[in-house]
Amino acid sequence: MTVNMQRFREFSMPDVGEGLTEAEILRWYVSSGDPVHDGMTVCEVETAKAVVELPIPYDGTVHAIHSGEGTTVDIGAVIITVDTAPSGEAGPAPAVPVEPPAAEEAPQPEPRQAVLVGYGVANGSTKRRPRKSAAVAAGRPRRPGPPADGPAPAAKPPVRKLARDLGVELARVTPTGPGGVITRADVHAALPAAPADVHPALPAAPAPAPPDRQAGERRIPVKGVRKAVAEAMVASAFTAPHVTEFLTVDVTRTMKLVRRLRGDPDFAGLRVTPMLLVAKALLSAVRRHPAVNASWDEARQEIVLKDDVHLGIAAATPRGLIVPHIRDAHARTLPELARCLHDLVDTARAGKTAPADLSGSTVTVTNIGVFGVDTGTPILNPGEAAILAVGAIRERPWVHKGRIVPRQVTTLAISFDHRLVDGELGSRVLTEIAAVLERPKRLITR
- Active-site residues, by number, are 418
Cβ contact 84:178 at 8 Å: no
State the distance between the two ends of the chain, measured CA to CA, in whole angstroms: 79
In 251-368, DSSP assigns E strands to 294-297, 302-305, 311-313, 315-317, 320-322, 325-326, 363-367
CA atoms within 13 A on the CB side of 344: 24
d(CA 155, CA 33) in angstroms, rounded, equals: 26
The alpha helices in 316-379, defined as continuous H runs, are 334-349
3-state secondary structure at position 305: strand
Q: Residue 44: phi, psi to the nearest 5?
A: -120, 130
Beta bridge partners of 317: 320
- Dmax over CA atoms of the chain, in Å, equals 122
d(CA 278, CA 272) in angstroms, rounded, equals: 11
CB count within 10 Å of CB 323 equals 24
Q: Identify the CA nearest to 44 among candidates 58, 32, 29.
A: 29
